[in-house]
Amino acid sequence: MNVLTGYVIREVLKGSFIALLLLLTLFNLFTLSDELRFLGKGTYGLKDIFYFLALTSPTTFYELIPASALLGSLFVLGNMGNNRELIAMQAAGLSVFGIIKAVLWAGAILVVISVLVGELVAPNTEKTARELKATAQNGQIFLNARYGLWLREGKRFINVRQVKDDGNLADISIYELDDQHHLRQVTHAEQATFITGQQWKLERIKYSIISTEQMLANQQSEQDWTSSIEPDLLKVVVVSADNLSLYDLAMYVDYLKDNHQKSQVFEMAFWGRVVNPLLTFIMLLVSVPFVIGVKRGVNVGSRMMIGVVIGMGFNLVDKIVSHIGLIYDLNPPLIAVAPSLAALVLALFAVNRLQV
Protein backbone atom coordinates (compact mmCIF):
# COMPACT_ATOMS: atom_id res chain seq x y z
CA MET A 1 0.00 0.00 0.00
CA ASN A 2 1.62 3.30 -1.09
CA VAL A 3 1.47 6.65 0.67
CA LEU A 4 -1.29 8.11 -1.52
CA THR A 5 -3.55 5.07 -1.06
CA GLY A 6 -3.06 5.23 2.70
CA TYR A 7 -3.84 8.95 2.67
CA VAL A 8 -7.12 8.41 0.82
CA ILE A 9 -8.12 5.59 3.17
CA ARG A 10 -7.42 7.69 6.28
CA GLU A 11 -9.28 10.72 4.96
CA VAL A 12 -12.34 8.71 3.86
CA LEU A 13 -12.47 6.98 7.26
CA LYS A 14 -12.11 10.31 9.04
CA GLY A 15 -14.90 11.87 6.98
CA SER A 16 -17.15 8.82 7.43
CA PHE A 17 -16.73 8.81 11.21
CA ILE A 18 -17.42 12.55 11.43
CA ALA A 19 -20.58 12.05 9.35
CA LEU A 20 -21.50 9.07 11.52
CA LEU A 21 -21.07 11.08 14.72
CA LEU A 22 -23.22 13.91 13.37
CA LEU A 23 -25.95 11.57 12.12
CA LEU A 24 -25.93 9.56 15.35
CA THR A 25 -26.28 12.77 17.37
CA LEU A 26 -29.13 13.94 15.14
CA PHE A 27 -31.00 10.64 15.36
CA ASN A 28 -30.52 10.49 19.13
CA LEU A 29 -31.95 14.00 19.44
CA PHE A 30 -35.05 12.83 17.55
CA THR A 31 -35.27 9.79 19.80
CA LEU A 32 -34.84 11.98 22.89
CA SER A 33 -37.70 14.19 21.71
CA ASP A 34 -39.92 11.11 21.32
CA GLU A 35 -38.92 9.63 24.69
CA LEU A 36 -39.61 12.88 26.58
CA ARG A 37 -43.31 12.26 25.93
CA PHE A 38 -43.10 9.31 28.32
CA LEU A 39 -41.17 11.19 31.02
CA GLY A 40 -42.77 10.54 34.41
CA LYS A 41 -44.69 7.46 33.30
CA GLY A 42 -44.04 5.00 36.10
CA THR A 43 -40.44 5.50 37.20
CA TYR A 44 -39.25 6.45 33.71
CA GLY A 45 -37.06 9.50 34.37
CA LEU A 46 -34.34 11.45 32.58
CA LYS A 47 -31.66 9.03 33.78
CA ASP A 48 -33.59 6.13 32.22
CA ILE A 49 -34.09 8.06 28.98
CA PHE A 50 -30.37 8.77 28.57
CA TYR A 51 -29.56 5.17 29.47
CA PHE A 52 -32.10 4.06 26.86
CA LEU A 53 -30.42 6.31 24.26
CA ALA A 54 -27.01 4.87 25.11
CA LEU A 55 -28.32 1.31 24.75
CA THR A 56 -30.06 1.94 21.42
CA SER A 57 -27.09 3.83 19.95
CA PRO A 58 -25.23 0.67 18.75
CA THR A 59 -28.24 -0.33 16.62
CA THR A 60 -28.48 3.20 15.19
CA PHE A 61 -24.70 3.19 14.64
CA TYR A 62 -24.97 -0.06 12.67
CA GLU A 63 -27.83 1.22 10.52
CA LEU A 64 -26.12 4.54 9.76
CA ILE A 65 -22.80 3.11 8.52
CA PRO A 66 -23.78 3.04 4.78
CA ALA A 67 -25.20 6.58 4.82
CA SER A 68 -22.19 7.85 6.76
CA ALA A 69 -19.84 6.25 4.23
CA LEU A 70 -21.68 8.02 1.41
CA LEU A 71 -21.69 11.45 3.08
CA GLY A 72 -18.14 11.14 4.39
CA SER A 73 -16.67 10.10 1.05
CA LEU A 74 -18.59 12.82 -0.83
CA PHE A 75 -17.28 15.44 1.58
CA VAL A 76 -13.66 14.21 1.65
CA LEU A 77 -13.25 13.37 -2.03
CA GLY A 78 -15.11 16.55 -2.95
CA ASN A 79 -12.65 18.64 -0.97
CA MET A 80 -9.77 16.75 -2.58
CA GLY A 81 -11.24 17.50 -5.99
CA ASN A 82 -11.74 21.19 -5.21
CA ASN A 83 -8.17 21.44 -3.88
CA ARG A 84 -6.87 19.63 -7.02
CA GLU A 85 -5.45 16.86 -4.84
CA LEU A 86 -7.08 14.19 -7.01
CA ILE A 87 -5.44 15.66 -10.12
CA ALA A 88 -2.08 15.69 -8.34
CA MET A 89 -2.57 12.06 -7.31
CA GLN A 90 -3.34 11.03 -10.88
CA ALA A 91 -0.30 12.96 -12.10
CA ALA A 92 1.78 11.06 -9.51
CA GLY A 93 0.61 7.76 -11.01
CA LEU A 94 -2.51 6.94 -8.96
CA SER A 95 -5.23 6.09 -11.48
CA VAL A 96 -8.97 6.54 -11.07
CA PHE A 97 -9.15 2.81 -10.38
CA GLY A 98 -6.46 3.27 -7.70
CA ILE A 99 -8.54 5.99 -6.03
CA ILE A 100 -11.61 3.75 -6.13
CA LYS A 101 -9.62 0.86 -4.68
CA ALA A 102 -8.42 3.06 -1.81
CA VAL A 103 -12.00 4.16 -1.12
CA LEU A 104 -13.14 0.51 -1.07
CA TRP A 105 -10.31 -0.36 1.35
CA ALA A 106 -11.75 2.25 3.68
CA GLY A 107 -15.15 0.64 3.10
CA ALA A 108 -13.75 -2.75 4.11
CA ILE A 109 -12.65 -1.31 7.46
CA LEU A 110 -16.08 0.26 7.96
CA VAL A 111 -17.75 -3.07 7.13
CA VAL A 112 -15.65 -4.95 9.69
CA ILE A 113 -16.58 -2.42 12.39
CA SER A 114 -20.23 -2.54 11.28
CA VAL A 115 -20.40 -6.35 11.46
CA LEU A 116 -18.75 -6.44 14.89
CA VAL A 117 -21.16 -3.86 16.30
CA GLY A 118 -24.23 -5.26 14.50
CA GLU A 119 -23.64 -8.88 15.49
CA LEU A 120 -21.93 -8.71 18.88
CA VAL A 121 -23.11 -5.50 20.53
CA ALA A 122 -26.36 -4.12 19.08
CA PRO A 123 -28.67 -7.16 19.60
CA ASN A 124 -27.89 -7.37 23.33
CA THR A 125 -28.09 -3.64 24.01
CA GLU A 126 -31.32 -3.30 22.00
CA LYS A 127 -32.95 -6.05 24.04
CA THR A 128 -31.77 -4.49 27.32
CA ALA A 129 -33.12 -1.09 26.19
CA ARG A 130 -36.57 -2.52 25.47
CA GLU A 131 -36.68 -4.26 28.84
CA LEU A 132 -35.47 -1.15 30.68
CA LYS A 133 -38.12 1.07 29.12
CA ALA A 134 -40.97 -1.39 29.62
CA THR A 135 -40.19 -2.17 33.27
CA ALA A 136 -39.57 1.49 34.19
CA GLN A 137 -42.88 2.59 32.65
CA ASN A 138 -45.03 -0.29 33.87
CA GLY A 139 -43.40 -1.09 37.20
CA GLN A 140 -43.63 -4.88 37.01
CA ILE A 141 -40.69 -7.03 37.98
CA PHE A 142 -40.08 -9.66 35.33
CA LEU A 143 -37.61 -12.28 34.23
CA ASN A 144 -37.34 -13.33 30.62
CA ALA A 145 -36.32 -16.93 31.20
CA ARG A 146 -36.00 -20.08 29.15
CA TYR A 147 -39.44 -21.24 30.22
CA GLY A 148 -41.38 -18.14 29.30
CA LEU A 149 -41.86 -14.76 30.90
CA TRP A 150 -42.15 -14.44 34.68
CA LEU A 151 -43.80 -11.37 36.20
CA ARG A 152 -44.61 -10.39 39.75
CA GLU A 153 -47.75 -8.44 40.56
CA GLY A 154 -48.22 -8.02 44.29
CA LYS A 155 -48.73 -11.50 45.75
CA ARG A 156 -49.21 -13.05 42.33
CA PHE A 157 -46.50 -14.61 40.20
CA ILE A 158 -47.44 -14.95 36.54
CA ASN A 159 -45.79 -17.20 33.99
CA VAL A 160 -46.50 -16.55 30.29
CA ARG A 161 -45.18 -19.14 27.87
CA GLN A 162 -46.25 -17.43 24.64
CA VAL A 163 -46.81 -13.79 23.66
CA LYS A 164 -48.56 -13.39 20.32
CA ASP A 165 -47.82 -10.64 17.80
CA ASP A 166 -51.11 -8.87 18.66
CA GLY A 167 -50.20 -8.68 22.36
CA ASN A 168 -52.52 -11.47 23.48
CA LEU A 169 -51.17 -14.34 25.57
CA ALA A 170 -51.25 -18.13 25.52
CA ASP A 171 -50.37 -20.79 28.08
CA ILE A 172 -50.61 -18.63 31.23
CA SER A 173 -50.12 -19.81 34.80
CA ILE A 174 -50.96 -17.61 37.79
CA TYR A 175 -49.66 -18.46 41.27
CA GLU A 176 -51.25 -16.58 44.18
CA LEU A 177 -49.72 -16.47 47.67
CA ASP A 178 -51.38 -15.69 51.01
CA ASP A 179 -50.08 -13.29 53.67
CA GLN A 180 -47.74 -15.97 55.00
CA HIS A 181 -46.29 -16.46 51.49
CA HIS A 182 -47.87 -19.88 51.15
CA LEU A 183 -49.27 -20.98 47.81
CA ARG A 184 -53.04 -20.37 47.93
CA GLN A 185 -54.28 -20.76 44.34
CA VAL A 186 -52.94 -21.91 40.99
CA THR A 187 -54.74 -20.87 37.80
CA HIS A 188 -53.91 -21.97 34.27
CA ALA A 189 -55.50 -20.47 31.14
CA GLU A 190 -54.89 -21.53 27.60
CA GLN A 191 -55.37 -17.99 26.32
CA ALA A 192 -55.72 -14.41 27.59
CA THR A 193 -57.19 -11.65 25.42
CA PHE A 194 -56.62 -7.99 26.23
CA ILE A 195 -59.89 -6.02 26.39
CA THR A 196 -59.13 -2.52 27.65
CA GLY A 197 -57.44 -0.71 30.51
CA GLN A 198 -56.55 -3.39 33.05
CA GLN A 199 -59.10 -5.93 31.83
CA TRP A 200 -58.22 -9.29 30.27
CA LYS A 201 -60.38 -12.28 29.42
CA LEU A 202 -59.01 -15.70 30.36
CA GLU A 203 -60.27 -18.64 28.29
CA ARG A 204 -60.30 -22.41 28.94
CA ILE A 205 -59.32 -22.15 32.58
CA LYS A 206 -58.28 -24.75 35.13
CA TYR A 207 -57.63 -23.71 38.72
CA SER A 208 -56.80 -25.27 42.07
CA ILE A 209 -57.45 -23.77 45.51
CA ILE A 210 -54.91 -24.99 48.06
CA SER A 211 -55.18 -25.00 51.86
CA THR A 212 -53.76 -27.01 54.76
CA GLU A 213 -56.95 -29.11 54.91
CA GLN A 214 -57.71 -29.80 51.25
CA MET A 215 -57.16 -28.91 47.60
CA LEU A 216 -60.10 -28.13 45.34
CA ALA A 217 -59.80 -28.31 41.53
CA ASN A 218 -62.23 -26.86 39.02
CA GLN A 219 -62.45 -25.48 35.51
CA GLN A 220 -64.50 -23.00 33.49
CA SER A 221 -64.68 -21.75 29.92
CA GLU A 222 -63.78 -18.10 30.53
CA GLN A 223 -63.27 -15.52 33.23
CA ASP A 224 -62.51 -11.81 33.51
CA TRP A 225 -59.06 -11.04 34.87
CA THR A 226 -57.99 -7.68 36.26
CA SER A 227 -54.28 -7.06 35.93
CA SER A 228 -52.01 -4.04 35.62
CA ILE A 229 -49.96 -5.93 33.02
CA GLU A 230 -50.09 -4.10 29.71
CA PRO A 231 -49.46 -5.47 26.21
CA ASP A 232 -46.67 -2.88 25.78
CA LEU A 233 -44.73 -4.53 28.61
CA LEU A 234 -45.16 -7.94 27.07
CA LYS A 235 -43.87 -6.75 23.71
CA VAL A 236 -40.34 -6.86 25.14
CA VAL A 237 -40.42 -10.64 24.82
CA VAL A 238 -41.89 -10.76 21.34
CA VAL A 239 -38.95 -11.72 19.15
CA SER A 240 -37.73 -8.71 17.18
CA ALA A 241 -35.22 -8.69 14.34
CA ASP A 242 -33.49 -5.74 16.03
CA ASN A 243 -32.37 -7.82 19.00
CA LEU A 244 -31.31 -10.90 17.07
CA SER A 245 -27.91 -11.53 15.55
CA LEU A 246 -27.54 -12.99 12.06
CA TYR A 247 -27.06 -16.48 13.51
CA ASP A 248 -30.09 -16.10 15.82
CA LEU A 249 -32.19 -14.87 12.90
CA ALA A 250 -31.25 -17.95 10.87
CA MET A 251 -32.09 -20.25 13.79
CA TYR A 252 -35.40 -18.48 14.42
CA VAL A 253 -36.40 -18.69 10.76
CA ASP A 254 -35.74 -22.44 10.87
CA TYR A 255 -37.80 -22.71 14.06
CA LEU A 256 -40.76 -20.87 12.49
CA LYS A 257 -40.63 -23.03 9.37
CA ASP A 258 -40.42 -26.23 11.42
CA ASN A 259 -43.55 -25.15 13.30
CA HIS A 260 -45.37 -24.08 10.11
CA GLN A 261 -45.48 -20.40 11.10
CA LYS A 262 -44.97 -17.32 8.93
CA SER A 263 -41.29 -16.49 8.71
CA GLN A 264 -41.09 -14.01 5.85
CA VAL A 265 -40.58 -10.92 8.06
CA PHE A 266 -37.57 -12.53 9.72
CA GLU A 267 -36.27 -13.90 6.43
CA MET A 268 -36.35 -10.36 5.04
CA ALA A 269 -34.49 -9.14 8.13
CA PHE A 270 -31.92 -11.93 7.75
CA TRP A 271 -31.18 -11.18 4.10
CA GLY A 272 -31.22 -7.45 4.80
CA ARG A 273 -28.53 -8.05 7.44
CA VAL A 274 -26.52 -10.08 4.91
CA VAL A 275 -26.78 -7.34 2.27
CA ASN A 276 -25.93 -4.47 4.66
CA PRO A 277 -22.10 -4.81 4.32
CA LEU A 278 -22.46 -4.78 0.51
CA LEU A 279 -24.51 -1.61 0.82
CA THR A 280 -21.56 0.23 2.38
CA PHE A 281 -19.38 -0.59 -0.64
CA ILE A 282 -22.19 0.47 -2.99
CA MET A 283 -22.59 3.84 -1.27
CA LEU A 284 -18.84 4.44 -1.56
CA LEU A 285 -18.89 3.51 -5.24
CA VAL A 286 -21.83 5.84 -5.80
CA SER A 287 -19.88 8.75 -4.31
CA VAL A 288 -16.94 8.48 -6.74
CA PRO A 289 -18.67 9.58 -9.99
CA PHE A 290 -20.22 12.55 -8.15
CA VAL A 291 -16.74 13.73 -7.23
CA ILE A 292 -14.52 12.87 -10.18
CA GLY A 293 -17.26 13.30 -12.77
CA VAL A 294 -18.53 16.63 -11.45
CA LYS A 295 -16.70 19.85 -12.16
CA ARG A 296 -14.59 21.41 -9.45
CA GLY A 297 -15.99 24.25 -7.40
CA VAL A 298 -19.18 22.48 -6.30
CA ASN A 299 -19.58 23.56 -2.68
CA VAL A 300 -19.90 21.32 0.37
CA GLY A 301 -23.62 22.02 0.77
CA SER A 302 -24.34 20.82 -2.76
CA ARG A 303 -22.36 17.63 -2.22
CA MET A 304 -24.15 16.97 1.08
CA MET A 305 -27.48 17.52 -0.63
CA ILE A 306 -26.49 15.00 -3.30
CA GLY A 307 -25.63 12.50 -0.57
CA VAL A 308 -28.87 13.07 1.35
CA VAL A 309 -30.99 12.72 -1.81
CA ILE A 310 -29.21 9.50 -2.83
CA GLY A 311 -29.40 8.03 0.68
CA MET A 312 -33.05 8.93 1.26
CA GLY A 313 -34.02 7.86 -2.24
CA PHE A 314 -32.37 4.47 -1.87
CA ASN A 315 -33.89 3.96 1.59
CA LEU A 316 -37.36 4.84 0.28
CA VAL A 317 -37.07 2.46 -2.68
CA ASP A 318 -35.73 -0.29 -0.42
CA LYS A 319 -38.66 0.04 2.01
CA ILE A 320 -41.22 0.11 -0.82
CA VAL A 321 -39.76 -3.03 -2.38
CA SER A 322 -39.66 -4.76 1.03
CA HIS A 323 -43.32 -3.98 1.72
CA ILE A 324 -44.33 -5.15 -1.74
CA GLY A 325 -42.44 -8.38 -1.09
CA LEU A 326 -44.27 -8.91 2.21
CA ILE A 327 -47.69 -8.11 0.75
CA TYR A 328 -47.33 -10.41 -2.26
CA ASP A 329 -45.28 -13.08 -0.46
CA LEU A 330 -42.33 -12.75 -2.84
CA ASN A 331 -38.96 -14.46 -2.50
CA PRO A 332 -37.18 -12.83 0.52
CA PRO A 333 -33.56 -13.14 -0.74
CA LEU A 334 -34.53 -11.64 -4.10
CA ILE A 335 -36.48 -8.77 -2.53
CA ALA A 336 -33.66 -7.98 -0.08
CA VAL A 337 -30.94 -8.07 -2.73
CA ALA A 338 -32.78 -6.42 -5.67
CA PRO A 339 -32.51 -2.71 -4.63
CA SER A 340 -28.84 -3.05 -3.66
CA LEU A 341 -28.06 -4.98 -6.83
CA ALA A 342 -29.74 -2.32 -8.97
CA ALA A 343 -27.77 0.42 -7.17
CA LEU A 344 -24.54 -1.56 -7.66
CA VAL A 345 -25.17 -1.90 -11.43
CA LEU A 346 -25.81 1.84 -11.72
CA ALA A 347 -22.71 2.66 -9.66
CA LEU A 348 -20.49 0.36 -11.74
CA PHE A 349 -21.89 1.84 -14.93
CA ALA A 350 -21.12 5.37 -13.72
CA VAL A 351 -17.61 4.36 -12.58
CA ASN A 352 -16.95 2.66 -15.91
CA ARG A 353 -17.84 5.85 -17.79
CA LEU A 354 -15.16 7.71 -15.81
CA GLN A 355 -12.49 5.51 -17.32
CA VAL A 356 -13.73 5.60 -20.91
Residue 301, pLDDT score: 63
Residue 148, pLDDT score: 65
For residue 309, give the nearest of 29, 74, 110, 27 by alpha carbon: 74
Q: Which residues of the chain have pLDDT under 50?
A: 356
CA pair distance 141, 150, nearest whole angstrom: 8
Residue 304, pLDDT score: 64
CA pair distance 226, 343, nearest whole angstrom: 54
Do the beta carbons of residue 27 and residue 64 sit within 8 Å?
A: yes
DSSP 8-state secondary structure symbol assigned to residue 242: G
Residue 290, pLDDT score: 73
Phi, psi angles (nearest 5°) of residue 180: -95, 10
Instruction: Find the helix packing angle between 96-116 and 3-35, rounded to 10°.
Output: 40
CA pair distance 43, 20, nearest whole angstrom: 32
CA pair distance 11, 31, nearest whole angstrom: 30
Helix (H) or strand (E) holding 187: strand 183-196
Alpha-helical segments (H) within the chain: 3-35, 46-82, 85-91, 96-116, 122-138, 231-234, 246-258, 264-292, 300-327, 332-354
Residue 84, pLDDT score: 82
Phi, psi angles (nearest 5°) of residue 181: 65, 30
Residue 215, pLDDT score: 82
Domain segments of the chain as ranges: 3-138+239-354, 141-228
> Phi-psi bin for 334: left (phi > 0), alpha (psi -120 to 50), beta?
alpha
Cβ neighbours of 99 (radius 10 Å)? 22
